[in-house]
């Protein structure tokens, strides 16, 4: 008797992860293979797509072994992964150059070119987003302008997880949520934009067919089966980009349930039942991995990454628990000390790659616990920026905020977030994020549940709640305008420093 397992594949920037889930939604096992990252020049960030494939082959085999399972036990497969990365292939499916990743910052000039060709306001209305360096479209223009001999051989454009899909199935296919993140998508029509492609002179035939998150895109090939241990003919569903699949993984799939991710980057994720577009593009508007749904998203680039930097730089070797413990005794506001969390530039609400981090208000009274507290509060203020934009988008009542990510393991940080945002935060029983969401999408595609919300309601439960403290809320409400004034005051300096 087969085990009826569902495989979620996650190609992140740091690892190729395979997760096996059973038909009740219980995680059976996970396996992750670390992935190398290349930064050959300043502002550049690249990976070799072959590393994604080799890594996931290893992880799939390891997960099957750990679960005492075979390919016959896997009923369906879903994929997720880092968004926006450009994987350029020739007509035979061969990789032409290293993939240019989501955190690559080389394409400022190409973003200006996109705005000039399409018109900024028109571009935002079509794609739901401004042209920013992280997205895929400007990377395509960069290759065309800087590596014309490589561009001339191009025939297929895939996102990172969809290169792995191609290796698994032989099909050039993508899901609609991840594809929206290329900013070549008409987010309202849920398909590639003929107008944008024409004005940017990008061939339509280079882009894959797109599918909804639970929709079957192909099946495992005999060649991939031999390498991975999976069974040839096993269906593969669309899946979603890491943020959309991660939202599925915590149940942020219905209007009123907001996801707040406190990972290396920070994300505020709000599902919508229509394509709401913020007129200035300050919030990202993408298709959801849920069929017929969309989402708004605010992104800060250095959330838990700010705490990681703080620890590694000022307290190397100290555990995070030991670092945070004394910060709990520091009063809200860190005695006048602020931290701007723009260590790698910023996306929301300031789409500015030149934004810089800083401690503001240092005095002789301030010691390491004050700096730690200020980092926690600065990240919380940054996430409030996105939350305020979501609240102002007119989506209706926010019924629940579900917090996840490595930083959310800290009770102190959860309390500071609740106090800064002024809302209760809850955690849920699922902690595997996008890989779990991809497995749920596979199970929906296989008919275990009829809809994605039904699957989430059946498997995801609230396990804890952190309520805001009225006295602390008042302190942070008084401090927030001061925090908001820091970026405008310092922007001329950021621009001058470059």
CA 232 to chain centroid, in Å, comes to 30
Band of residue 82 on the pLDDT scale cut at 50, 70, 90: very high
Candidates 172, 9, 207; CA nearest to 93 is 172
pLDDT band at 278, cuts 50/70/90?
Answer: confident
For residues 253 and 270, is the Cβ–Cβ distance under 8 A?
no
Specify the DSSP element, H or E, that contains 497: helix 470-497
Q: Which segments of 219-269 does DSSP mark as H helices, in order?
A: 222-228, 242-250
- Put residue 20 in one of left, alpha, beta given phi > 0 → left and psi -120 to 50 → alpha: beta
Question: What per-residue confidence (pLDDT) applies to 103?
Answer: 87
3-state SS class at 76: strand
Among 356, 336, 341, 425, which residue's Cα sits nearest to residue 387? 425
pTM over 0.85: yes
Annotated catalytic residue: which of 10, 242, 385, 419?
Answer: 242
Model confidence at 332, pLDDT cuts 50, 70, 90, reads very high
Q: Where are any strands of DSSP class E within 99-229?
A: 99-100, 156-158, 173-175, 185-186, 191-192, 209-211, 216-219
Q: How confident is the model at residue 426 (pLDDT cuts 50, 70, 90)?
A: very high
* Contacts for 489 with CB less than 8 Å, ≥ 6 apart: none
pLDDT digits (tens, 9 = 90+) for 203-253: 999 999 999 999 999 999 999 999 999 999 999 999 999 999 999 999 999
Percent of the chain having pLDDT more than 70? 100
Instruction: Kindly indicate the confidence band of residue 339, based on its pLDDT and cuts at 50, 70 and 90.
Output: very high
Q: How far apart are CA 237 and CA 314, in angstroms?
A: 45
Q: Which two tokens stand for residue 178?
A: 């991840």
DSSP string, 174-220: EEHHHHHTTT-EETTTTEE-HHHHHHHT--GGGSPEEE-TTSEEEE-
Q: 171 falls in which pLDDT band (50, 70, 90)?
A: very high
Average pLDDT over residues 265-282: 92
CA–CA distance, 221 with 340 (Å, rounded to integer): 49
pLDDT at 401 over 80: yes
- Two tokens, residue 75: 């009923």
Cα separation of 340 and 356, whole Å?
8
What does the pLDDT read at residue 376? 98
Average pLDDT of 381-385?
98
What is residue 324's predicted lDDT score, i.e. its pLDDT? 98
Given this model, what pLDDT does residue 16 score?
Answer: 97
Which among 410, 444, 437 has a CA at the least distance from the CA of 425?
Answer: 410
Write out 331-365 in H/E/C secondary structure.
CCCCCCCEEECCECEECCCCCECCCCCEEECCCCC
- What are 433-486's pLDDT values in tens digits? 899 999 999 999 999 999 999 999 999 999 999 999 999 999 999 999 999 999
Residue 42 pLDDT grade (very low, low, confident, very high; cuts 50, 70, 90): confident
Q: Which of 379, 383, 382, 375 is nearest to 314 (CA)?
A: 375
What per-residue confidence (pLDDT) applies to 38? 95
Residue 394, pLDDT score: 83
Q: Are 252 and 82 in contact (CB under 8 A)?
A: no
The Cα 257–Cα 241 span in angstroms is 19
Tokens of 482: 């001061």
Q: Say whether 270 sits in a helix, a strand or coil.
A: strand
Q: Percentage of the chain with pLDDT > 90? A: 94
Average pLDDT over residues 165-178: 98
pLDDT at 334: 98
Domains of the chain: 5-238 (3.30.420.40), 251-498 (3.30.420.40)
* Backbone φ, ψ for residue 29 (5° rounding): -165, 160
Section 49-76 average pLDDT: 98
Per-residue pLDDT for 264 more than 90?
Answer: no
State how far Cα 123 lies from the chain centre: 22
How far is Cα 100 from Cα 44, in angstroms, rounded to an integer?
A: 8
- pLDDT for res 353: 84
Q: Is 242 a catalytic residue?
A: yes
Residues 173-189 have a mean pLDDT of: 98
Q: Is 93 left (phi over 0), alpha (psi -120 to 50) or beta?
A: left
Question: Is the omega angle on the peptide bond into residue 338 within 30 degrees of 0, that is, cis?
Answer: no
């Amino acid at each position: 008797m087969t085990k009826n397992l569902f495989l979620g594949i996650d190609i992140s920037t740091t690892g190729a992860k395979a997760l096996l889930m059973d038909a009740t939604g219980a995680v059976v096992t996970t396996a992750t293979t670390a992935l190398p990252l290349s930064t050959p020049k300043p502002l550049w960030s690249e990976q070799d797509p072959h590393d994604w494939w080799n890594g996931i082959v290893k992880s799939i085999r390891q997960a099957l072994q750990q679960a005492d399972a075979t390919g016959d036990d896997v009923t369906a497969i879903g994929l997720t992964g880092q968004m926006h990365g450009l994987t350029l292939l020739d007509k035979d499916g061969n990789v032409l150059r290293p993939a240019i990743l989501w955190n690559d910052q080389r394409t400022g000039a190409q973003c200006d070119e996109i705005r000039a060709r399409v018109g900024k306001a028109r571009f935002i209305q079509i794609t739901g987003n401004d042209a920013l360096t992280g997205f895929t479209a400007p990377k395509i223009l960069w290759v065309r302008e800087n590596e014309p001999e490589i561009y001339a051989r191009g025939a297929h454009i895939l996102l990172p997880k969809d290169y792995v899909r191609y290796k698994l199935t032989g099909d050039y296919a993508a899901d609609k949520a991840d594809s929206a993140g290329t900013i070549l998508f008409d987010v309202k029509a849920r398909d590639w934009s003929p107008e944008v492609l024409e004005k940017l002179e990008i061939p339509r035939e280079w882009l894959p067919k797109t599918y909804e998150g639970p929709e079957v895109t192909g099946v495992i090939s005999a060649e991939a089966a031999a390498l991975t241990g999976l069974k040839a003919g096993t269906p593969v569903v669309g899946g979603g980009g890491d943020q959309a699949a991660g939202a599925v993984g915590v149940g942020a799939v219905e209007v009123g349930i907001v996801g707040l991710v406190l990972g290396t980057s920070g994300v505020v994720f709000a599902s919508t039942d229509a394509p709401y577009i913020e007129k200035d593009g300050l919030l990202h508007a993408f298709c959801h991995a849920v069929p017929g749904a969309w989402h708004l998203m605010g992104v800060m680039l250095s959330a838990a990454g700010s705490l990681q930097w703080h620890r590694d730089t000022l307290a190397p070797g100290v555990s995070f628990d030991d670092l945070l413990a004394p910060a709990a005794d520091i009063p809200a506001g860190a005695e006048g000390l602020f931290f701007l969390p723009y260590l790698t530039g910023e996306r929301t609400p300031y789409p500015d790659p030149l934004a810089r981090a800083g401690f503001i208000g240092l005095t002789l009274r301030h010691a390491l616990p004050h700096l730690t507290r200020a980092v926690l509060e600065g990240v919380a203020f940054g996430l409030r920026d996105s939350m305020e934009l979501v609240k102002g988008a007119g989506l209706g009542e926010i019924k629940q905020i579900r917090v996840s990510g490595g930083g959310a393991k800290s009770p102190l940080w959860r309390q500071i977030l609740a106090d800064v945002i002024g809302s209760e935060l809850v955690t849920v029983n699922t902690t595997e994020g996008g890989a779990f969401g991809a497995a749920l999408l596979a199970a929906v595609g296989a008919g275990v549940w009829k809809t994605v919300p039904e699957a989430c309601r059946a498997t995801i439960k609230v396990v804890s709640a952190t309520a805001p403290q009225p006295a602390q809320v008042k302190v942070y409400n008084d401090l927030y305008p001061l925090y908001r004034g820091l970026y405008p005051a310092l922007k001329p300096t950021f621009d001058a420093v470059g």
